[in-house]
Chain A
Amino acid sequence: MALPEGLKDFSLAGKSALVIGAEHPVGRVAAVTLAEAGAKVLLASQEPGTEEALKATAQAVTAAGRKNPPTQVMTAAVRADLAAAADLTVRKLGGLDIAVTALDTPFYAPVEATDDAAFDRVMDDNFKSVWLACQEIGRVMLGRGGGSIVNIANVMAERGVPNAALYCAAKGAVRNLIRALALEWARKSIRINILECGWLDEEGSPALEPGDFSDKLVKYLPYRRLLKPEEIAGALLYLVSPAASFVTGTSVALDGGLLCRV
């Protein structure tokens, strides 16, 4: 069916995209969304040992109409891996117009129980990986005349949470990285924005562990329910597409209004 005239800016037909963290549920939704909107996608992982999960994402992308997308199992906190993924996207797909990072390693512990090894791991996986990805993707996009980047993080980029100081600091670092990069690249045709998920209905989330925290949290949420990964699709497509060509350095929260409370 033909796309209405008013929605043509949302189409990604002819564009090439890299999704990093494509083994995660949120990354999988991102990959499928870009494919459904017409983009070719390359799927890269956050961590090694994720062959099966990445394969499941490739199958979902195939089902969305982009058969057998190329995949790259890699470590997102390693520069050489990110450089290779960015270059591979150009080689395999013919360009790198859109990049999405869905990089996340949650960490919940009191400050006094957080050692230096945890600091390095949490900052590497949540922040350094995004920094490196932006550098390597930026290198390729600047050489090719521009592009659009969306980093997917969460609402901890905006507020504090007890027992999550380090995790909040890493997400907050991503938020402000996006502002500064947006300014540095504003006249070089790279737009960069951040999507902030609310509390996700995702395996391993403390919001799903039975107990006082999850009971009280869900009642506190304006929608009285957690965010499903597939609900990020619309905002992601808006931000990466030409529909948002005057939008850079901004955040869009998917939280049902949670941030309005504080």
Chain B
Amino acid sequence: MILDNFKLDGKTVIITGAGRGLGRAMAIRFADCGADIVAASRTVAQLEETAAEVRKRGRKCLVVPTDVARSDQVNAMAVAAFKEFGQVDVLINNAGIGEDSFGKPIEEITDDEWHRGIDTNLSSQFYAARAVLPQMVARKRGKIINVASGYGLRGGKHNYMYACSKGAILQLTRSLALTYAEHNIQTNCIVPGIFPHNEAMMRFFKGGKFIPIGRPGQDEDVGPLAVFLASDASNHINGELLIIDGGGLAGGITPTGVAPGNPA
């Protein structure tokens, strides 16, 4: 029965950036599928709100305040997860910053902003994968899901750190996928399009009117994709970029809403 392959009962899932946005939506969706959550991010108050949602669904949630840009803290988070649950079945590298940095001219970006962004968005994924892989190899199973962005595949005006860090995540995904295929560990990448998390972003992206499907993504849209990639239903998918963007990356060589010849 195909739907049984999607079940996540009793699985332990680490989600970084679980305090808000996509991370929280995934945590709630995974709890609804029977999984226990390790919620990691910097802001404890937000993590506790996520944890309350998970526990309301009868699942466990371990809150681990973590600055994912620091490998010592990421390592400690993984140790705490193993101590609490005994194993980690799924790692979701979701934490990210810098969507609000779009539009900043290059000469105004400091070294510190650049490094902080690269470390939070990219190095964090490397650190967390490194921290959980030995145990996944020992168990001969595991799933790593890296969250990138459509900006990892396209350029953007005044968009440097974000585009570079997200593009590098695609490469991290591919190399992890090829390296650990023989250990039955799948590494894949979710590539979200425009998912505005506040009014300012909604204005910046003009309400999503240039997205082919006609609306921006909602955080809840990503939950089922993450569940699919975390489950046995996706066991032959490895190193793949799963785009969820309302059609954005299918086009792009014409503006949305117009077409050559007769009107679209």
Contacts and interface: CB of A to CB of B under 8 A. Distances in A.
Contact of A249 (B7, B178, B247): B247
Interface string A228-248: 000101110110000111111
B242 A252 contact: yes
A182 B212 contact: yes
Contacts of A245: 221
A183 interface: yes
Contacts of B233: 233-235, 237-238
B29 to A, nearest CB: 5
Interface in B210-261: 212-214, 217-218, 221, 223-225, 227-228, 231-240, 242-247, 249-251, 259
B224 A231 contact: no
Contacts, number: 161
A6 interface: yes
A188 to B, nearest CB: 10
A136 interface: no
B118 to A, nearest CB: 22
Interface string B167-186: 00000001101100110000
B126 interface: no
B5 A234 contact: yes
Contacts of A184: 259, 264
A6 B223 contact: yes
A76 B239 CA distance: 33
Nearest to B5: A234
Q: Range of interface residues on chain A?
A: 35 or more
A27 B249 CA distance: 28
A11 B3 CA distance: 8
B246 A233 contact: no
A182 B235 CA distance: 27
B178 A260 contact: yes
A113 interface: no
A231 B237 CA distance: 9
Contact of A5 (B2, B32, B234): B32
A223 B2 contact: no
A31 to B, nearest CB: 12
Contacts of A216: none
Contacts of A198: 236
B33 interface: yes
B34 interface: yes
B160 interface: no
B31 interface: yes
A205 to B, nearest CB: 16
A237 B4 CA distance: 12
Contacts of A108: none
Contacts of B45: none
A10 B212 contact: no
A191 to B, nearest CB: 8
Interface string A162-200: 000000000000000011101110110000000000100
A182 B33 contact: no
B182 A224 contact: yes
B144 to A, nearest CB: 12
Contact of A252 (B217, B237, B249): B237
A250 B250 CA distance: 7
A209 interface: no
B54 to A, nearest CB: 12
30 contacts: A3-B3, A10-B3, A11-B3, A187-B212, A198-B236, A222-B177, A224-B182, A234-B2, A234-B232, A234-B233, A234-B234, A235-B233, A235-B237, A238-B228, A243-B228, A246-B221, A248-B212, A248-B246, A249-B250, A250-B249, A252-B237, A253-B237, A254-B237, A255-B238, A256-B181, A256-B236, A256-B238, A257-B238, A260-B175, A260-B239
- The list of the 4 closest CB pairs from A to B, nearest first, reads A249-B250, A234-B233, A6-B32, A243-B224
